[in-house]
Amino acid sequence: MIGQNLLGPEPTHLQPEPEVVAALAAGADLESVVREHPESPLAWALLADSADSEGREIEAYAYARVGYHRGLDALRKAGWRGAGPVPWAHEPNRGVLRALYALRRSAARIGEHSEVTRLTEFLDGADPQAIAAIEATDATNA
């Protein structure tokens, strides 16, 4: 453990979103889920993914930006202080991480390179395996 900061912040673990997960599992329309649960970073991230898959880059960016801000709200509410682990392994954290990833992807599509760099650093700081995990999940669901 030499070189590891043992006094670093504890990992942040968000609360589950059972209503959002249930609505998504039941096949609810993404816009309906967002209208019903506008505080959900997962719902916004999935809406951004949908817009992106249809080539609607500006809409995808806007949805991802809202998901990013909703994610920051959720992290702060859970005690996050602007840094520290947000593990992908804790399933309720995945909505925030997916929103960060969606914004990173959308920023790249519109040429906002400094935002891509910042969000890559954010994701790597939250969980160094998050980007690969999201890309693997997306490839499996494609």
What are the tens digits of pLDDT across the range 58-93? Answer: 999 999 999 999 999 999 999 999 999 999 999 999
**Cα 21–22–24 angle (5° rounding)?**
65
Q: How far is Cα 137 from Cα 4, in angstroms, rounded to an integer?
A: 29
- As a residue count, the chain comes to 142
Tokens 């804790």 correspond to 90
SS3 content of the chain, % helix, strand, coil (to 5): 65, 0, 35
57-to-51, 61, 64, 124, 139 alpha-carbon distances in Å = 7, 6, 10, 24, 19
Reading the chain (142 residues) residue by residue, the pLDDT tens digits are: 445 556 778 999 999 999 999 999 999 999 999 999 999 999 999 999 999 999 999 999 999 999 999 999 999 999 999 999 999 999 999 999 999 999 999 999 999 999 999 999 999 999 999 999 999 998 877 6
What is the pLDDT at residue 1? 43
What is the pLDDT at residue 142? 65
Question: Which domains does the chain carry?
Answer: 18-141 (1.25.40)
Q: How far is Cα 130 from Cα 107, in angstroms, rounded to an integer?
A: 18
Please, are residues 59 and 113 in contact by the beta-carbon 8 Å criterion? no
